[in-house]
Each structure stands twice: as C-alpha cells, then as structure tokens.
C-alpha cells in the first residue's frame, strides 16, 4: 500500500527531530546560567534613604510593595495601562510597574504614603474625600499621585496634547485635566468627582 500524505509528514517530522535533538543536547552545557543577577541600589523613598539588594529584573512597584511593604501603591494591570501603580520619581509621575528598580538608583521616590498622613492629609487627598473622588478606592493612590503631578505640570507651564498654544502657559480646564489624567483608569467611573477635586485644589473653576 502506498504511504499516505499523513504518513510522509509524520516520518519527515520524526527525522527532523532526530537530527536536531543531539545538537541541542550537546550544546546544553553551554547555555547561560539561570541564576539571578543581583544589584544593590540606594533610593530615597518618602524621605527615608533605603539600601536595597535584589534581582535586576525586579520592578520598582515590586520593590515598594514586597521589599518595603508600602502597599498603598497598587498592582493593577501590571502592563502600564491602568495607572494604579503611579508614583512620583524626582517629582515626575511614572508607572512603577514599567520601571525596573535598578533604573532608579539615587532617585527620590514619593508614594501615596509619603503625600500625607491620616492626621494631616495632603490637599488632594482632602479634596478626594470631600468630592467623593473614589468608590472602591483601588485606583485612588495612583489617581492622587497623578493629580499632584498634573497640577505641578500646569504650574510649570508644560503643555499637553490638548494645549492650544504650545508657546503659552496651559490654562486649567476640563480638557487639560482629562487629557493629563487619561492614563489613570477608574473602573468605578468617578471621573467627574476627580475633576472637581483637582479643580478645587487648583483654586479655579472649569
């Protein structure tokens, strides 16, 4: 009986595998080690200097949560899409899930825990409470850190995608706030309250 097409494909696949496997086996001893590469860095977190030793692949988010136990910063999507992990690094907001800790050696990091205390809330925190700028609260630490940075960006005159005149200082407006806060997702949909909170702290009406 003549071999079928299926038989030919199976024999061909087995022949190819038998030719490759010995080569892989002989080269296996030359593979790089899977042992982690460790680094030591010094960062200042919420005003306190920290000397840390960890795997180079560790994100800043995991260092904050797992090594320093600052769990206010949340891990949401872990892909830089939701903004729940937003912190301030040298005054600039970043998604800490996308930043390796070793990239921040010598940096000054501020998390939600460093913005205020239960007895002395930051102005943005007070406004979020007043305007009910949160519901489940999971995104709130990132929203608040981002809001602090937004007001600072506008104060410094940094334009955004919706700034009409790039040569002029951007004005506080709903469009500016929405654009600048667009990287922070609220799954409960408290966006209008968040805008009210930020506007009040900025001392303006939009």
Return the HEC string of 122-166: CHHHHHHHHCCCCCCCCCHHHHHHHHHHHHHHHHCCCCCCCCCCC
Which candidate, 71, 72, 70, 110, places its Cα nearest to that of 90? 110
Can you tell me the distance from the alpha carbon of 80 to that of 161, in angstroms, rounded to the nearest whole number?
A: 19
Kindly state the tokens that stand for 91: 């005054």
Residue 150 backbone dihedrals phi, psi, to 5 degrees = -60, -45
Q: List Cα–Cα distances, 197 to 141, 145, 163, in angstroms.
A: 14, 13, 21
Tell me the domain boundaries of the chain.
Answer: 38-114, 123-202
Q: Which tens digit of pLDDT belongs to each residue from 16-74?
A: 656 555 555 555 556 666 778 888 999 999 999 999 999 999 999 999 999 999 999 99
Pick 38-114's CATH classification: 3.40.1410.10, 3.10.20.30, 1.10.3720.10, 3.10.129.10. 3.10.20.30
Neighbours of 125 (CB within 10 A): 23
Question: Are the folds of 38-114 and 123-202 the same?
Answer: no
- Alpha-carbon 3 to chain mean position: 58
Question: Which pTM was predicted?
Answer: 0.80
pLDDT tens-digit profile of 124-175? 999 999 999 988 999 999 999 999 999 999 999 999 999 988 888 888 899 9
Enclosing H/E stretch for 9: helix 5-27
Return the minimum-mean-pLDDT range out of 5-9, 81-85, 110-114. Answer: 5-9
90, 91, 92, 89: which is closest to 60 by C-alpha? 89
CATH architecture of 123-202: Orthogonal Bundle (1.10)
Q: CA–CA separation, 113 vs 145, rounded Å? A: 10
Q: Which of 166, 157, 67 is nearest to 109 (CA)?
A: 67
């Amino acid at each position: 009986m003549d071999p079928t097409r299926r038989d030919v494909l199976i024999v061909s696949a087995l022949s190819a595998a038998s030719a490759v496997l010995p080569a892989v086996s002989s080269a296996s001893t030359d593979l790089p080690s899977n042992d982690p590469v460790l680094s030591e860095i010094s960062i200042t977190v919420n005003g306190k200097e920290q000397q840390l030793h960890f795997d180079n692949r560790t994100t800043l988010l995991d260092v904050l949560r797992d090594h320093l136990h600052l769990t206010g910063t949340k891990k949401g999507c872990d892909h830089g899409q939701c903004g729940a992990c937003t912190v301030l690094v040298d005054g600039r907001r970043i998604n800490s899930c996308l930043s390796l800790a070793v990239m921040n050696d010598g940096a000054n990091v501020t998390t939600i825990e460093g913005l205020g205390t239960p007895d002395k809330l930051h102005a943005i925190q007070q406004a979020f409470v007043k305007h009910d700028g949160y519901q489940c609260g999971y995104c709130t630490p990132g929203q608040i850190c981002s809001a602090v940075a937004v007001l600072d960006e506008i104060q410094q005159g940094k334009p955004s995608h919706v700034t009409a005149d790039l040569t002029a200082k951007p004005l506080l407006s709903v469009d500016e706030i929405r654009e600048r806060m667009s990287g922070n997702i609220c799954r409960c949909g408290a966006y209008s309250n968040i805008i009210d909170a930020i506007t009040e702290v900025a001392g303006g009406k939009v």
